[in-house]
Amino acid sequence: MKKWVKMSGSILYAMVFTMMIACIIVVLSSRTTGEDPQIFGYQFKQVLSGSMEPEFSAGSLIVVKHVTSPETLKKGDIITFQTKQDKSFVTHRIVGIKGNGANKAFETKGDNNMYQDGTLVKADQVVAQYKGMNIPYAGKLLSYAGTSAGTALLLIIPGMMLLIYSTIHFVGAAKHRRHSADLPMSEKQA
């Protein structure tokens, strides 16, 4: 039983440590490049408004993948596009398609909006496609992690967790060594 508990503790430690390192790398790399976090070609975008509720809410983090062939997109797909006016990014659903080839354009609408977006989205404005995964409230956490205080906390908390974990193991090893030293020689050999 003790062996199983020790092994599961080590596995849990390895998983948490790996996830913490991955989170630190993602946040620090996105902070230095100024771009959204990205892993294996999938990008994380923060949702700023409730226009796509109930699909995903403001403050969520959604997973999108870069679109290389906008001609493959169809009605019902959720896309991220860059607006011509203020160069901001919007993620809305395709509700209609006009034209084809180089002249292809998309009619878009937020699920929670009453009306379609006012302008057509040209194929060259499409940046990514939503892949059906969102993490509620993670966008707010990522925004905080992007601040100086958040970055410091992101480094301090894992460091403290590692220090506590190491202290617990050190104390446990010292107790085990002390207990072994107190045993009579006949019990040590058994």
Active site (catalytic) residues:
49
Sheet holding 121-122, edge to edge: 38-39, 42-46, 61-66, 126-135, 78-82, 89-98, 105-109, 121-122
Q: Which two tokens stand for residue 11?
A: 């596995």
What would you report as the CA-atom Rg of the chain, rounded to the nearest whole angstrom? Answer: 25
Q: Which two tokens stand for residue 24?
A: 């630190």
Cβ burial 133-150 (10 Å sphere, 16+ → b, else e) = ebeeebbebbeebeeeeb
